[in-house]
Structure 1
Amino acid sequence: MKYLWLMLLCAAGLATVAQTRREDIYTDFVLYNKRVALEKDLRERVVAKHFAAALDSNTEDGYLSACWAVEQFLFDGPDVRRGFEQMFTGYDGLSYDTKRAFLEAVYAVGRDRYRREMDSLLSREEDARLFALCAVYLHRVDTGVENANALKIRMVERFPGFDTIPVLRELQGYLSFRRPALPAVGELFAWEREMGVKTIYSFQRWDRDYPGLAIVQNADGSFVRDGDGRLEVFEQLARSGPGLPYFLTNGNTPQGVYRITGTDVSKTNYIGPTPNLQLLLPCEGRVDTLERYRVLLPPGWRDYAPMMEAWEAGAIGRTEIIAHGTTMDPEYFAGRPWYPLTPTMGCLCAKELWNVTTGHPLVSEQNNLVNAFLGTPGRQGLLMVINLDDRRKAVSREEVEALVRVDEKAVRAGGDKKNPRLLTGGGKNLRKEDRRSVR
């Protein structure tokens, strides 16, 4: 049965892929002089100079670049506010791409500063995705039920067929969301152990300002530990630069199940040369069904709505979410709750700290994670992103160790094999059509 499941996941061959030594990783992008020059260029040319120009068709591309810099590096100040004022005034004449970058940047750094202006844009925006960007901004300003209902009414009035538009259908659910209780995490561990699937679990907070921790469960159900027998944990940030909701492009990493299709090395300077894990959302690069997605979860998790975020994001069209490292200078984010990790545009980003003299990493949680995953045969498997709770602090080693300890205690006692709740509908009880559905 485990062999069948691995075949259905298109698992790689039995040879272990070579791991990467940290000392062999190098990039000149992190060298001190380059970092200084980049920051100067971003602040003085990309943001200040572009936002100082009169906004017209000739300068719009510069404004778009400035908005990108704002949402990624969270720049703020007089130059940014002046640029935003011009863009609010000239909004109707902007291209779609510039409008989207602008609304993302406003969400990133203008937390409640532009309620009146965003309300005005919402009242006349005819594009569903841009309407959603305005709506989530206004919902963040006032999360009350009355305001949420008012936003839903305005959506229905503007888009009578909203329920046929995936992004608006998800917006409606987002505005109505009430957080359910988290199912037993041990059910996930037991399910993947029974299936024989190599799995990474990325445990996060609902408030993605706070970093999470990832662990690796081997195909035999054991968890990766170091030479002293200590559980290996890997710091990961699942926050995007703008911090948008999961269903919007450049939003926070959605909760749910991803397929790990292998490893790669990015050509993007900001991601850097450390091997990354290639991930696929549901519906990304293939025709998927909700049934095919749900069977990847144990029965007790299939109706847990937060784990459907990845499914909904994929159905809406989000793509290219991977698990990678970073070459960005963490000092851009000094004082933020996630420091010294760096946000991305929606990927899972592990902590990497670089020697700015030699160009080699001092710390690479990303390389450690990839090596842990590749330490046993196979380059493919699953990755699950799970919000544990709403505590305003980084996920701790102690929390994750406690989850694993409960699971391993159950295994030693034979609990996962004797407890019918964990096996209902799973493992040997999988219907033939369910097994086919995950191919």
Structure 2
Amino acid sequence: MKLLIPLSLLCCLSLHAQYSRDNIYSDFVLYNQRVKFDQYLREQTIKATFEKTLNSETEDYYREACWAVSQYVLQSPVVEKGLHNLFNGYNGLEPATKRALLEAAYASYPNIFYKEMTQLMQQETSPRFFAMQAVYLYRIDHSSKKTAALRQQLHSHFPGYDTLPVLKELDHYLLHHDSLAHAATPPLDVLFAQQKITGQKIIYSFQRWNRDYAGLAVIQNADGHFCRDTSGRLLVFRQLARSGSDLPYFITNGSTPQGIYSIQGTAVSHNNLIGPTPNIQLVMPFEADSVYWHHAVDSTKPALDNYLGILPASWQSYDPMTEAFYAGKIGRTEIIAHGTTIDPDYFKDKPYYPLTPTMGCLCAQENWNMFTGKINSSEQFNLVSTFLSTPGDTGYLMVININDLPQPVSREEIEQMVNAFEHNKKEAVSKGQPLFIFKGGFVHNGGE
């Protein structure tokens, strides 16, 4: 029984019309199915596996157990023992198992494997695994002294680190993450105004730097207006941009990178954990360059220049918006915006409850009826329906950390930003002053 199915194996049916909520059904959410799944997860996938001796015949089971630990952020004496067994046999493990182990340790045990990670870094030859070990230690102690020591170890251990995308991004992360998390974003009104350049629909997913706290998404239509309900109130959609591991953006299965994604339409997944609610298909830079762009770009320019060209000038030097670009260059793929059938009770003691983490996607809140298999409420369905309520099913999605407040992003925060933008825009038009875009914000007496 596979608990986790790679997104590349999903069979997705693309559709370009509104969906019917009444037709959405999942037997995976039924009470009896959840009980059986949980029992199998804990007793077979985890307990039975980690009680076995680690060897070539059991390694695959150990690896599968680690993926489950990461997805459900599980902790128990059995899990801890299993991870210790894997660390003790690290040198003999297959690369896929090493990766699963490091991810599970980062997800569920944020500090007890300090010694093991420190020792592994001395001999690690894999750039990716070195990066995973380094960020584990950085999370425990990101003082300037410890950070400098980690960077020195990186530079000496991999003299050509700046030619390896994952290590170059690791160095940038170690050097800048803490300061960026406390810095203000450039003006959001300028970003909203820039939409006029591409003329595309844009979904903005506003998040916290601490992804334990859920974010909110809003939709700006192709005509520049934000989607509102019949009473004129801004429509917002709760989204979690946290992966189970919560590894940094440049590590596969890490939390959702900030930056610009290309919307490629909508689809229905056959992955039990994602569920049958329509999802929004996204691609990252380098993942599918032939379809990424929805507006004219200069193919003679470097890819990064075209990517940054979607943003206003004041945002082009804001490094966090390049996370998706460099994560794509490193090899991250298959990040989409979807719903969830995972039982939220696995995370009832977490700040993001009742939302559920993913393997790096944007996950909207859903509540299922465990007796009928139908949806009680779905932020995901509402998001997709609203996006499709105007012509077209493509555009861009931007993930943006707005600040580091230790609380979920609130409706009031987003309404204040959007309402101020639309008020200024309306005022400019009423005065007969066309709204143009310039480095500092709005100008009303010049050209683009």
Which consecutive segments of 4 or more residues in structure 1 shift more than 3 A?
A: 418-424
Q: In structure 2, what is the Cα distance between the partners aligned to 1:77 and 1:194?
A: 52
Shift of 1:419: 6.4
2:209 paired with 1:191? no
1:224 to 209, 227, 233: 227
Contact 2:184 2:403 in 1 (8 A): no
Aligned to 1:142: 141
2:396 to 372, 375, 382: 382
Please give the residue correspondences for 1:302-313 in structure 2 after superposition, counting only pairs within 5 Å: 302-313=316-327
Shift of 1:52: 0.7
SS at match of 1:388: strand
Q: In structure 2, what is the Cα distance between the partners aligned to 1:65 and 1:377?
A: 43
Counterpart amino acid of residue 85 in structure 1 = H
Contact 1:416 1:422 in 2 (8 A): no
Counterpart amino acid of residue 417 in structure 2 = L
2:435 to 399, 417, 427: 417
Aligned to 1:99: 98
Q: Using a 3 Å threshold, how does the CA distance of structure 1 residues 416 and 123 change in structure 2: closer, same or farther?
A: farther
Q: In structure 1, what is the Cα distance between the partners aligned to 2:317 and 2:437?
A: 20
Q: Deviations over 1:100-133 (max 9, x none)?
A: 0000000001111111111011111100000000
Counterpart amino acid of residue 341 in structure 1 = L
Contact 1:22 1:364 in 2 (8 A): no
Aligned to 1:171: 170
Aligned to 1:340: 354
2:232 paired with 1:214? no
Counterpart amino acid of residue 230 in structure 2 = G
Counterpart amino acid of residue 390 in structure 1 = D
Q: In structure 1, what is the Cα distance between the partners aligned to 2:109 and 2:26?
A: 34
Q: Using a 3 Å threshold, how does the CA distance of structure 1 residues 323 and 418 change in structure 2: closer, same or farther?
A: closer
Q: In structure 2, what is the Cα distance between the partners aligned to 1:256 and 1:18?
A: 27
Counterpart amino acid of residue 324 in structure 1 = H
SS at match of 2:281: strand
SS at match of 2:275: coil
2:47 paired with 1:65? no
2:242 paired with 1:243? no
Shift of 1:145: 1.0
Q: Using a 3 Å threshold, how does the CA distance of structure 1 residues 418 and 253 change in structure 2: closer, same or farther?
A: closer
Counterpart amino acid of residue 58 in structure 1 = E
Shift of 1:184: 0.5
Aligned to 1:7: none
Aligned to 1:391: 405
Counterpart amino acid of residue 247 in structure 2 = L
Aligned to 2:122: 123
Q: In structure 2, what is the Cα distance between the partners aligned to 1:400 and 1:22?
A: 27
Contact 1:217 1:223 in 2 (8 A): yes
Counterpart amino acid of residue 83 in structure 2 = F
Q: Using a 3 Å threshold, how does the CA distance of structure 1 residues 37 and 235 change in structure 2: closer, same or farther?
A: same
Aligned to 2:51: 52
Q: In structure 1, what is the Cα distance between the partners aligned to 2:197 and 2:162?
A: 38
Moved more, 369-378 or 287-296: 287-296
2:270 paired with 1:267? yes
Counterpart amino acid of residue 243 in structure 1 = D
1:353 to 352, 367, 389: 367
Q: Using a 3 Å threshold, how does the CA distance of structure 1 residues 222 and 51 change in structure 2: closer, same or farther?
A: same
SS at match of 2:328: helix
Aligned to 1:255: 258
Please give the residue correspondences for 1:25-40 in structure 2 after superposition, counting only pairs within 5 Å: 25-40=24-39
Q: Deviations over 1:232-270 (max 9, x none)?
A: 100000000000000100001000111001111111110
Contact 2:198 2:310 in 1 (8 A): no
Runs of 5+ consecutive residues of structure 2 not aligned to the other structure: 1-14, 291-301
Contact 1:326 1:350 in 2 (8 A): yes
The TM-score normalised by the length of structure 1 is 0.91
The TM-score normalised by the length of structure 2 is 0.90
Q: Deviations over 1:180-211 (max 9, x none)?
A: 43100111110103432110000000000000
Contact 1:122 1:131 in 2 (8 A): yes
Contact 2:193 2:437 in 1 (8 A): no
Q: In structure 1, what is the Cα distance between the partners aligned to 2:169 and 2:264?
A: 27
Counterpart amino acid of residue 64 in structure 1 = R
Contact 1:212 1:395 in 2 (8 A): yes
Q: In structure 1, what is the Cα distance between the partners aligned to 2:116 and 2:149?
A: 17
2:303 paired with 1:289? yes
Moved more, 220-229 or 371-380: 220-229
Q: In structure 1, what is the Cα distance between the partners aligned to 2:172 and 2:142?
A: 14
2:333 paired with 1:330? no
Contact 2:263 2:397 in 1 (8 A): yes
* RMSD (CA atoms): 1.6
Shift of 1:24: 1.6
Q: In structure 1, what is the Cα distance between the partners aligned to 2:115 and 2:38?
A: 32
Contact 1:191 1:423 in 2 (8 A): no
SS at match of 2:250: coil
Counterpart amino acid of residue 223 in structure 2 = D
SS at match of 2:238: strand
SS at match of 2:435: helix
Contact 2:184 2:402 in 1 (8 A): no
Counterpart amino acid of residue 40 in structure 2 = D
Q: Percent identity?
A: 52
Q: In structure 2, what is the Cα distance between the partners aligned to 1:406 and 1:145?
A: 39
Moved more, 313-322 or 147-156: 147-156
Shift of 1:286: 2.1
Shift of 1:428: 6.5
Shift of 1:418: 5.6
Q: Deviations over 1:349-371 (max 9, x none)?
A: 00011000110111110010001
Shift of 1:422: 3.7
2:185 paired with 1:182? yes
Q: Relative contact order (alpha carbons < 8 A, sep ≥ 6): 1 or 2 greater?
A: 1
